[in-house]
Amino acid sequence: VAASRKLDIFLYDIDALEIEKISEIKLPQTQIEELSLLQKLGFNVNPRYKLCQDIQKVEEFYQSWIGKKNYEDYGIDGVVIKINSVKIQKFLGYTGKSPRWGVAYKFPAEQVTTVVEDIQTQVGRTGALTPVAILRPVKVAGSTVSRATLHNEDEIQRLDIRIGDTVVIQKAGDIIPEVMGVLTDLRSGKEKKFAMPVVCPICGGKVARKKGEAATYCLNPKCFAVEKEKIIHFVSQKGFGIEGLGEKIVEQLIAEGLISDLADIFWLKKGDLEPLERFGEKSAENLIVAIEKAKKIELNKFLFSLGIRYVGEETAILIVEAIEKEFSNFKFLKESQFSIFNFIKIFPKIKLEDWKSIKGIGEKSAESLFYWFRNENNLKILEKMRKAGVEIKNFSRGKKQKGKFSGKIFVLTGELKNWTRNQAKAMIIAEGGKVSGSVSSKTDFILAGENPGSKFDKAKELGIKIINEEEFKKM
């Protein structure tokens, strides 16, 4: 199938060069020279790049492509701005997720209208019930969209969205479909209001909306949907990154009774898989090899993979940095600092105040970590992973760069006009700052866009400085 699609690729970067005689080739000193070398070596290089001497020229280049982007034979969602000097690139280095010497400058999202044919509810790994708009299929930003998340009951009420409504949709960052608004003038009177389910649509268990939260949750910890989503999160690229273990395979393994918790994955045998549909001898062997390879994992990825509520990628990194810097506070033995043994024996002993003392960790994250590591079932799963041979590797973000945001904690809320959230995060991290997912007394700044949420209100209560995008630019 792949061959019939005649796939092609543009190369933009040289990660490493292996050369027998260094004199055979001149090592590139700039991004432009890298592209030139790639072209000489026979690789396909996009010729539509430009060397800009200042930010005004960058903006002119960007604006020129807004009008041209729909006339190429491949999709374009923005331009990438890079530092030309390889030497400076190496000096700037990388954050936990991206280079500091490059940033994506996305085009404004394309908006289209369509009809909400139904609103259904899906259940995530935390048990949260998420309403999803089932849309009349429509093409937007290069692909056909038929679903869009509505997030929660409050968002449905804010939009006043009903089944049968004509809505405006766009792709956030040209990736995730979202409903921007309802064209109420087009209502016929036949539209139906939506109400959140009174029982879980998957397991039929009780549901409840916790005080102070927007989401409604399934209260059954053994709900099939919750277990499935936990495992999918666990094996995702941001977690253990087990190649070949996708949603359908996870569903199949749960249905066959081969896995019921996160640790069961590491006890699978080739003989368990071979009799199953979708598997043969080779595919079963490939998955077992991928699982074995994934047993060594960095601590931040391990923490993220566990699916602890309010512990995302950035929070996991903040925890690891605190352990590296202040392991004595957490009673860590240095020689076993990154051992899974610490999770089982020492993490449950960490006090709530210790979790809260980590800069950038909010109260909700701290409480979630505190209670997760005191749950006997969770500790049994960790012990089962240890016995299966899971090992935690050292974590290093490389040499920290000083910048104007060094030591400062930012929280983002609302819709940003000038950047995507990931772009804003990258800018903060590049200047030595940190980004947290929750507001606490340790937060230094709230970067607020349009329609800010509860984080904005909490920041006002705590007296934390709130800045808009223009103020952020001038910092």
| 22-61 pLDDT per residue, tens | 556 778 999 999 999 999 989 999 999 999 999 999 999 9
23 in a structural domain: no
**What CATH number has the domain bearing residue 155?**
2.40.50.140
pLDDT > 90: what percent of the chain?
54
Strand runs (DSSP E) across 320-464, as ranges? Answer: 391-393, 409-413, 434-436, 445-448
pLDDT band at 80 (very low <50, low <70, confident <90, very high): very high
84 in a structural domain: yes
**What pLDDT score was predicted for residue 328?**
52
**What pLDDT score was predicted for residue 114?**
97
Question: Looking at residues 202-211, what average pLDDT do you find?
Answer: 92
pLDDT band at 424 (very low <50, low <70, confident <90, very high): confident
Say if residue 402's pLDDT is above 70: no
Say if residue 232's pLDDT is above 80: yes
Q: How far apart are CA 308 and CA 261, in angstroms?
A: 14
Residue type, 257: G
189 in a structural domain: yes
pLDDT band at 314 (very low <50, low <70, confident <90, very high): confident
Say if residue 464's pLDDT is above 80: yes
Question: Looking at residues 429-449, what average pLDDT do you find?
Answer: 86
Does residue 197 contact residue 228 with C-beta atoms inside 8 Å?
Answer: no
Residue type, 302: F
Pairing between β-strand 176-182 and β-strand 128-140 as defined by DSSP bridges: unpaired
Among 262, 297, 332, give the residue marking a domain's end. Answer: 297
Say if residue 333's pLDDT is above 80: no
**What CATH number has the domain bearing residue 331?**
1.10.150.20
Say if residue 161's pLDDT is above 80: yes
| 240-249 pLDDT per residue, tens | 999 999 999 9
**What CATH number has the domain bearing residue 81?**
3.30.1490.70
- Provide the number of structural domains found in the chain: 5
Question: Looking at residues 391-419, what average pLDDT do you find?
Answer: 74
439 in a structural domain: yes
Say if residue 335's pLDDT is above 50: no
Q: Which tokens hold the place of 220? A: 């059954």
Q: Strand order in 434-436's β-sheet?
A: 434-436, 409-413, 445-448, 465-467
Kind plus residue range of the DSSP H or E element containing 230: helix 224-235
Chain length of the chain: 475
Say if residue 393's pLDDT is above 90: no
- Which of the pair, 411 or 360, is modelled with greater confidence? 411
**What pLDDT score was predicted for residue 396?**
47
**What pLDDT score was predicted for residue 173?**
63
Q: Is the whole-model pTM more than 0.85?
A: no
Q: Which tokens hold the place of 467? A: 């800045």
Whether 292 and 305 map to the same domain: the answer is no
- Which of the pair, 328 or 390, is modelled with greater confidence? 390
Is the backbone of residue 11 left (phi > 0), alpha (psi -120 to 50) or beta?
beta
pLDDT band at 407 (very low <50, low <70, confident <90, very high): confident
Among 70, 90, 106, give the residue marking a domain's end. Answer: 106
| 145-160 pLDDT per residue, tens | 999 999 999 999 999 9
Give every CB contact of residue 464 below 8 A, 6+ residues apart in sequence. 439, 443, 444, 445, 446
**What pLDDT score was predicted for residue 239?**
94
Say if residue 461's pLDDT is above 90: no
Question: Looking at residues 335-362, what average pLDDT do you find?
Answer: 77
**What pLDDT score was predicted for residue 20?**
59
Say if residue 320's pLDDT is above 50: yes
Whether 383 and 467 map to the same domain: the answer is no
**What pLDDT score was predicted for residue 330?**
55
Say if residue 95's pLDDT is above 80: no
Whether 324 and 366 map to the same domain: the answer is yes
pLDDT band at 2 (very low <50, low <70, confident <90, very high): low
- Residue 164's domain comprises 111-193
Tokens 């071979």, located at residue: 274
Whether 305 and 361 map to the same domain: the answer is yes
Pairing between β-strand 176-182 and β-strand 166-172 as defined by DSSP bridges: antiparallel
Does residue 27 contact residue 18 with C-beta atoms inside 8 Å?
Answer: no
Whether 133 and 189 map to the same domain: the answer is yes
**What pLDDT score was predicted for residue 326?**
61
